[in-house]
Structure 1
Amino acid sequence: MAEWVCRALRDGALEGEHAPALTIKDSIPTPLGFDAFCHVLSQLSTNISAKKSQSRALVLVAFSRSPSYYVDLLKRRGLDISSSQQWIRILDCYTDPLGWRERLMECGSAKNLSHEASNIASTCRNVKDVDKLFSSVISLGEGLVGQGKVRFSVAIDSVNEMLRHASLSSVAGLLSNLRCCDQISSIFWFLHADLCEEKVTAVIEYMSSMVASIEPLIPFANRHRGNSENLSLVERNFTKGKFHVRCKRRNGRVRVMFEEIHIGQSGIDFTSPSSEDGLVNQVNQGLLPKVQFNLQLSEKERNDRAKVVLPFEHQGNGKPVEIYDGRKSLMDSKNEAAPVSTGNSKINDDSSKGEIIYFRDSDDEMPDSDEDPDDDLDI
């Protein structure tokens, strides 16, 4: 499912449609959302650098990490940083979000960024001004692809940090304006749901076309975390979870998918849900509803059902099976052989066989040819 999400961001938007937007969110029990964000960022960067994506550039708005962190991340993923100036720009909202660092640099008590990071980073010193932030993102993207039909992608590493400095309406307006921009191919961001109110999370999810939530693979049996069993589950949920994706289709329907996410020494892995996990099976069995009736017929019930003679079939008299179509008259039916019988004229009470005799309603009374069927009508 993670590959499907990355392909959706890679393919971008159709002509006349808004850019696809992805919300990646997690919670305290399973804090793996930023790892998933870095994975999507690396996959999209690889496609952009190889020119396999609709977008030809990427603008990363960094709130929670420094530009040097993302430069090292792209290096570890095997991307050529020397050519990164042609397809990526980082809007640095982490180093000096309120303009205080600039004053410290004048005093000589602040450190500068690395040479590689400074080549692709641009510092934003007033993150409270959302309009200026939007203009900075657009100008950085246009500086890479120019003004025209060529598109670029946008990534925001922390919506929570944006909400610390701006109101919800301002942040929602920024995300909406970015989606509506004709030059933006796709956009995705990370949100830690436990640091926001439910209405804030609902608004951010409403602004997106895809929502990828990291959920605990095994929920807690109770709220007492001092339990030794729950402590092992806490430790396990910090490295393994469920990657749950909800996608809004163009026809209005919602597609739901999920797979397992695992963080190991080699990196992040996405696998299909495993049924071999005993704890998962135990939880799933507890969630199954307990019904008080059988969902399948027994052998005796199947045999009894096979012995029932349906009213529209005349069979068992040695002649080919004839389907009663309801159009034969009562006089014709008298010439037919008798229905299924056991060879005796008397009904055997001990026999398990039965019959259903069916007569069409129109055969009960033959209409009088001299009688006008419309005599009772008062015209």
Structure 2
Amino acid sequence: MLLEVSEAAQAGGVVIIRDTTSYSGRHLLKYYINCALKREEDVHVLGFEVPEQELRAGLDSNYMHWFHFHNAYIDPLGWTKQSSFTVKQFTTADVTRLVREIQHAKASILVIDSLSWVIRHHNPVAVCQQLQELKRGGSVRMIFGLLHTDLHQQGIVDSICHLASTVISVTSVNHAHHAVAKTMHRKKSGKVIREEEFFTVKDDLTLSIEKRSGQSGHVQMQPDTKADPTSNLTFNLRLSEVEREAREKVALPFVFSQEKKSALLKQSQGSGRIIYEPDASDDFDEEDPDDDLDV
């Protein structure tokens, strides 16, 4: 799925690359920048954490006229007035103005390196609102953001990732040369696709998808056989043909025979009634029938 992320036709997509101090996601971010440049798309980078020369290293020099770095690395907070962009300018209006000032294509790719810088100096709710407005504004086709998850509370990370169409969580694998990427992609229909891949970003920013070492070879599948739960019982649950025939001949207690039905439905010739005649010892008061009760 990593190979399809940058080529997603879905407009207004937000891709969040989650990393930690154990493994940096910037190499994967640069791979997606390089892919966009080769497609001749304007790439606008809001650079807070690394200088422009470091981010340019490895990118295809034949397409660098599509690359636009808005330098917030020198003075991210605007104290010395040396940066062309500061973290305080992360608003829908300011970012849209930057993109439209230098834009060849109809829609550009916006890269935020990194979102952690923005979140630490803005209200996380406001950051979510700005990202929502940017992806719906029409000037930006896709947004890529690098997020250092170990710098923020889990609730803030979840809020940022909730508005993303794709979330890629990268971690190292036993200090090996490759890493693992757990990708969650949310389609417009609401369907969520998850995939785990082992990858390597080479020096020339080519992406190599690898399999887990030790998984090579064939895994022999055991046939799906169901055990007989009655095989070890001390009594028999099955009936022979003779026993089955004898069982069928037994009349059930709730089933009436024809003779019993006829007897119950046969009308009686006469009718009976009970006549009670009180004697002299009976003390019966018609006005108070319960007078003889000791209540």
Q: Same fold by TM (over 0.5)? A: yes
Q: Is the 8 A contact 1:59 1:137 kept in 2?
A: no
Cα distance, 1:366–1:187 mapped onto 2, change above 3 Å: farther
How many positions carry a matched residue from both structures? 251
Where in structure 2 are the equivalents of 1:178-257 lying within 5 Å?
178-217=134-173, 233=174, 235-236=175-176, 239-257=177-195
Q: Distance in 2 between matches of 1:58 and 1:248?
A: 23
State the TM-score, normalized to the length of structure 1. 0.55
The equivalent position to 1:72 in structure 2, one of 57, 64, 71, is 57
Q: Is the 8 A contact 1:35 1:268 kept in 2?
A: no
Give 3-state SS (helix, strand or coil) of 1:156's partner: strand
1:28 lines up with 2:7 in the alignment: no
Q: State the Cα distance separating 1:255 from its structure 2 match.
A: 0.8
> Which is worse superposed, 92-101 or 188-197?
92-101
Q: Is the 8 A contact 1:95 1:101 kept in 2?
A: no
Give 3-state SS (helix, strand or coil) of 2:34's partner: helix
1:271 lines up with 2:271 in the alignment: no
Identity of aligned residues (%): 18
Q: State the Cα distance separating 1:358 from its structure 2 match.
A: 7.6
1:60 lines up with 2:45 in the alignment: yes
- Residue 38 of structure 2 is matched in structure 1 by 46
Cα distance, 1:129–1:186 mapped onto 2, change above 3 Å: closer
Give the residue type in structure 1 aligned to 2:43.
L
Q: What residue ranges of structure 1 are gaps of 5+ in the alignment?
A: 14-18, 50-55, 104-121, 218-232, 279-293, 305-338, 342-346, 348-353, 371-379
Give 3-state SS (helix, strand or coil) of 2:133's partner: helix
Q: Is the 8 A contact 1:155 1:189 kept in 2?
A: yes
1:297 lines up with 2:226 in the alignment: yes
Give 3-state SS (helix, strand or coil) of 1:80's partner: helix
State the TM-score, normalized to the length of structure 2. 0.69
Q: State the Cα distance separating 1:67 from its structure 2 match.
A: 2.4
- Residue 133 of structure 2 is matched in structure 1 by 177
Give 3-state SS (helix, strand or coil) of 1:36's partner: helix
- Residue 219 of structure 2 is matched in structure 1 by none
Q: Is the 8 A contact 1:89 1:140 kept in 2?
A: no
- Residue 70 of structure 2 is matched in structure 1 by 91
- Residue 95 of structure 2 is matched in structure 1 by 137
1:321-361 CA deviation, whole Å, 9 max, x = no partner? xxxxxxxxxxxxxxxxxx989xxxxx8xxxxxx899889x9
Give 3-state SS (helix, strand or coil) of 2:76's partner: coil
Give 3-state SS (helix, strand or coil) of 1:250's partner: coil
Q: Distance in 2 between matches of 1:93 and 1:7?
A: 28
Q: State the Cα distance separating 1:295 from its structure 2 match.
A: 6.0
CA RMSD of aligned residues (A): 4.0
**Structure number having the greater helix percentage:** 1
Cα distance, 1:367–1:62 mapped onto 2, change above 3 Å: farther
Q: Distance in 2 between matches of 1:355 and 1:67?
A: 91
Give the residue type in structure 1 aligned to 2:34.
S
Q: What residue ranges of structure 2 are gaps of 5+ in the alignment?
A: 217-222, 232-239, 263-295
Give the residue type in structure 2 aligned to 1:136.
D
Give the residue type in structure 2 aligned to 1:95.
I
Q: Is the 8 A contact 2:58 2:203 kept in 1?
A: no
